[in-house]
Amino acid sequence: MQLDLSIFSPKTRSLIGLDMSSSAVKMVELANDGKNGYRVERYAIEVLPRDVVADGNIVNLEAAAETIKRAWRKLGSPTRSVAAALPASHVITKKIIVAADQKEEELEILVESEANQYIPFPLDEVNLDFQVIGPAPSSREEIEVLIAASRKEKVEDRVAAVEAAGLKPVIIDVESYAVLSALELIMEQLPDNGKGQIIALVDIGANVTNLTVMRDGQQLYAREQAFGGNQLTQDVARLYGMTFAEAEADKRRNALPENYEAELLQPFVENMALEVSRALQFFFTSTQYNKVDHVVLSGGCAVLPAADEVIASRTQINTIVANPFAGMSLSSHVRANSLLADASSLMVACGLALRRFQR
């Protein structure tokens, strides 16, 4: 399922998926490989200075634009068209059921009328869009429509940062829907393509861990917990007398002292497994479900040594590290080993890059 908060009609032959998290700018460019599949043309990751993005808000527009520009130069692509995304927390979504066979103009009036009832802002202060999901579950004579609305200032901040970097924003999507597009590629790697199975996507980022539980493309549950990789970076900085930036850089380069693994990394991974187990327990106690078939780990922490094994051991659930690029061919610009290490943190950027192929 995809949600389109398009700024302009996305009629572009090439497109860069741009994900701006609290810790980094990530870019992915995909192409057709000529065999009914995708090819990874290029990707780039550029670390954001601390506090440039906080709680999904761009705090320092100039620094954000500069980081986007550096990432694009690193990417080395002639393409300037970009699909970016807003955090789900900045977007109000609602599904409505309406009569089928309506004209586009009639649907627009209906959506606006419905939006008036549940959006706590004047409509002239929001960007409003909708997408027909398909036939309603209850009746063939009705359709299910997904409405999305975001404060204009949230959209405009993203647009301004992209434009200030010299790029052209053609789509503003929602991060959670971009992730679901990438997750569809991972489902193909599961037994029976994951059909009928309950999948727990656990995204462990710099500051927060997001749990999204899915079955057959439908979201069953979502939860956010305050736990992320920055806690490990802060521990490194404290133990070795470094600044946060130095600790983060050395952590990424695997350039820390020998006792790092035993003293900090292993306890952090154990704690991470505990957080995942706790999040799953909340899912079980809050819903009618009492099992999960697969855990899919994404985010920068997913590739920490033995993270998948430790989580599988604690939860007793099959656990894999997300790699939406597993079935794709690679261009000469992409090194397989580097992509494998970074793949789990590129879910949003990959999902956004897939918008090139969606009409």
The C-alpha atoms of residue 38 and residue 27 are separated, in whole angstroms, by 16
On average, the pLDDT of the chain sits at 90
- Domains of the chain by residue range: 1-91+152-187+323-359, 92-151, 190-321
Q: Which CATH architecture has domain 190-321?
A: 2-Layer Sandwich (3.30)
For the cut 90, the answer to whether the pLDDT of residue 149 exceeds it is no
Q: Is the Cβ–Cβ distance between 345 and 298 less than 8 Å?
A: yes
Closest CA to 228 of 131, 300, 334, 148: 300
Q: Is the Cβ–Cβ distance between 90 and 55 less than 8 Å?
A: no
Q: How many Cα neighbours within 13 Å face the side chain of 5?
A: 32
Q: How many CB atoms lie within 10 A of CB 214?
A: 21
**Residue 161's beta-bridge partner residues?**
none
The answer for residues whose C-beta is within 8 angstroms of residue 352's C-beta and 6 or more apart is 15, 17, 18, 19, 28, 83, 84, 85, 171, 173, 178
Q: Where are the alpha helices (DSSP H) in the chain?
A: 61-75, 104-118, 152-164, 175-187, 230-240, 244-252, 260, 266-286, 307-315, 336-342, 347-353
The C-alpha atoms of residue 309 and residue 46 are separated, in whole angstroms, by 29
CA 284 to chain CA mean position, Å: 24
For the cut 60, the answer to whether the pLDDT of residue 88 exceeds it is yes
- pLDDT for residue 56: 87
- pLDDT for residue 245: 87
CA distances from 271 to 60, 210, 244, 301 (A): 32, 15, 21, 12
**Residue 144's beta-bridge partner residues?**
97, 134
Q: How many CB atoms lie within 10 A of CB 37?
A: 10
- pLDDT for residue 5: 47
The answer for residues whose C-beta is within 8 angstroms of residue 126's C-beta and 6 or more apart is 115, 119, 149, 150, 151, 152
CATH topology of domain 1-91+152-187+323-359: Nucleotidyltransferase; domain 5 (3.30.420)
Q: What is the pLDDT of residues 291-320, one digit of tens each?
A: 999 999 999 999 999 999 999 999 999 999
CA distances from 351 to 98, 130, 171, 233, 357 (A): 28, 19, 12, 28, 11
Asked whether this chain's domains 92-151 and 190-321 adopt the same fold, the reply is no
- pLDDT for residue 4: 44
- pLDDT for residue 3: 41
pTM over 0.85: yes
For the cut 50, the answer to whether the pLDDT of residue 11 exceeds it is no
The C-alpha atoms of residue 329 and residue 41 are separated, in whole angstroms, by 9
Q: What are phi and psi of 12, to 5 degrees?
A: -135, 140
Q: Considering just the CA atoms, what is the radius of gyration of the chain in Å?
A: 21
Q: What is the pLDDT of residues 211-263, one digit of tens each?
A: 999 998 888 999 999 999 999 999 999 999 999 989 988 988 888 999 999 99
For the cut 60, the answer to whether the pLDDT of residue 6 exceeds it is no
Q: Which CATH architecture has domain 92-151?
A: 2-Layer Sandwich (3.30)
- pLDDT for residue 359: 56
Q: What is the pLDDT of residues 90-124, one digit of tens each?
A: 888 888 888 888 888 888 888 888 888 878 888 88
Q: Which two tokens stand for residue 109?
A: 């009036």
- pLDDT for residue 2: 41
